[in-house]
Structure 1
Amino acid sequence: MIKDINDITALQEIEEQQSKFLLLKHSLTCPISSAANKAYENYGKTTDNPTYRLYVQTSRELSAHIANKYNIKHESPQVLKIENQKVTWHASHYDITEETLLENS
């Protein structure tokens, strides 16, 4: 099940509680992001891995914080696999599919 987050405090709580999780940065206005979000939602229904999502339009501060903290250029859509507070895999745009999520989670 995907949980939506929208602030830095929520991310910090996740980082403290989860050693590994996936996070999708989703744009509400981009058709490519819509397809990536659908793939992520389908993946979220089939995995036990913790999955989170933020909406870039309403969580700009959090999105910028993630880019700075993990030293990953902001893209949208973008999925990050975070393990022990380090990004171990990330993908954006058309590279976000159910198949790539399964292969890299």
Structure 2
Amino acid sequence: MSIKQLHTIEDLQQFVQQPGKHLLFKHSTACPISAKAYEEFQAFVKDTDISAAVVLVIEDRPVSNKIAEEFGIKHESPQIFFLEDGKVRWNASHWKITRESIKEALNK
């Protein structure tokens, strides 16, 4: 499954409003911790058919800010959200983002 990059608030709203399960990743292109977490995220998505998207927090800051505002979850990067029918079911940040943690969250 490919990872869609969200550039606008409209992109974000369309992604979140889709029915079903989705993963949303906030990535800082300037952070080595984020780079490692993004590798874990990409590796997980590659082996599944789950819908997935990424927001680059520096390049698309308004979208990143909207995520924190909409979900009521403090901004961090890297940060991942498991969404189901538009609701956040799980989120994690920094070193807690691993293939295994994502797998566990989706199987709860």
Common fold: TM-score over 0.5: yes
What is the aligned length? 105
Paired residue for 1:65? 66
Question: Is 1:101 matched with 2:102?
Answer: yes
Match of 2:14 in 1: 13
Q: Give the Cα–Cα distance (whole angstroms) in 2 for the partners of residues 5 and 80 of structure 1.
A: 14
Q: Is the 8 A contact 2:3 2:52 kept in 1?
A: yes
1:83 and 1:65 map into 2 onto residues whose CA distance is 18
SS at match of 1:6: coil
Structure 2 Cα separation of the partners of residues 15 and 75 of structure 1: 19
Give % identity.
41
Deviations 1:39-71 (A, max 9, x none): 011011001110110100111101110101110
Between the aligned partners of 1:60 and 1:79, the Cα distance in structure 2 is 16
**1:25 aligned partner:** 26
Alignment partner, residue 36 of structure 1: 37
TM-score, normalised to structure 2, is: 0.92
TM-score (norm 1): 0.94
Question: Structure 1 residue 97: deviation in Å?
Answer: 0.4
The whole-number CA distance in structure 2 between the counterparts of 1:18 and 1:45 is 21
Alignment of 1:46 onto 2:47:
yes
Unaligned runs of 5+ in 2: none
Stretches of structure 1 that go unaligned for 5 or more consecutive residues are none
- Higher mean alpha-carbon deviation, 70-79 vs 13-22, is at 13-22
In 2, Cα distance between equivalents of 1:33 and 1:23:
14
